[in-house]
């Protein structure tokens, strides 16, 4: 996602000094360590900025001169599990951009990694590109729309200063990987896969909001262990690595302009 054009007003384009950061995160387990780290406060139900009936949860507060809003899609009202996936991610991102008007979005979360691309458990990546791997529309032009490949907001200084790994991110609505998904992920040249990144990127680009994607590897997709088993086994420890990486990114952002990232 390219930076906003210079002919747009600063407040609309997100240019100038960064003062408001929106962290979009999929799961409560991933969110709570960051809530604690940044001493964020949960918005009371009666003070919610979101439409009535939406299960989305917002935490907010100030940290080192930045105002931080952290949102996650909440629990499914019927089943009580985290509302993961592209639909929930896109909806909460859309509403948050409209209501909170962030200067920068950080989509933080866990992901599967590919050992063939050098990924290991606990590695943290800053995504350079995003695409979908399960939107198959075999009609000319629609096929490219379905893949939705796009560059993320360029952050060379963050990559260099914080020594984060860089790689391409592929997004789909399934935790496991079907043969069709595998083929598409290979075509996307992805190092990591998740269940929300490309959806967040789509919405962020629509409203000219810079977005970056910080992903920590919980499971090796092309490894020996079943994905679900390895994911659950490593979720807590890898979330700690994610917490540390996001904190470093936030500390780096302090006082900078969007184009300085």
Give the residue numbers annotated as catalytic, written as ranges.
30, 219
Q: How many whole angstroms separate alpha carbon 208 and alpha carbon 5?
A: 9
User: Are the beta carbons of 98 and 115 closer than 8 angstroms?
Assistant: no
What's the first-to-final CA gap in the chain, in angstroms?
A: 13
List of residues 6+ apart from 115 with CB closer than 8 A: 220, 222, 223
Strand-pairing partners, residue 170, are 131, 193
| Cα–Cα distance for residue pair 227/234, rounded to 1 Å | 11
Size of the chain, expressed as the number of residues it contains: 261
């Amino acid at each position: 996602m390219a930076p906003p054009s210079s002919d747009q007003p600063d407040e609309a384009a997100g240019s100038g000094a960064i003062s408001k950061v929106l962290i979009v995160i999929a799961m409560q387990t991933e969110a709570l360590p960051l809530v604690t780290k940044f001493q964020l406060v949960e918005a009371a139900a009666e003070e919610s900025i979101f439409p009535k009936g939406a299960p989305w949860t917002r935490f907010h507060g100030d940290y080192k001169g930045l105002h931080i809003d952290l949102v996650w899609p909440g629990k499914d009202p019927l089943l009580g599990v985290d509302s993961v996936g592209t639909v929930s991610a896109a909806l909460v991102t859309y509403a948050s951009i409209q209501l909170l008007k962030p200067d920068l979005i950080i989509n933080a979360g866990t992901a599967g990694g590919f050992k063939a691309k050098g990924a290991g458990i606990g590695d943290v990546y800053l995504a350079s590109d995003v695409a979908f791997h399960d939107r198959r529309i075999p009609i000319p032009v629609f096929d490219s729309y379905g893949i939705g490949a796009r560059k993320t907001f360029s952050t060379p200084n963050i990559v260099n200063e914080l020594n984060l790994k860089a790689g391409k991110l592929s997004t789909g609505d399934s935790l496991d990987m079907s043969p069709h998904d595998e083929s598409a992920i290979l075509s996307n040249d992805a190092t990591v896969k998740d269940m929300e990144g490309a959806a967040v990127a789509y919405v962020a680009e629509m409203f000219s909001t810079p977005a970056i994607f910080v992903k920590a590897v919980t499971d090796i997709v092309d490894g020996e262990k079943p994905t679900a088993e390895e994911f659950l086994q490593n979720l807590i420890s890898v979330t700690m690595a994610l917490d540390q990486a996001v904190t470093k990114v936030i500390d780096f952002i302090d006082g900078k302009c969007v184009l300085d990232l």
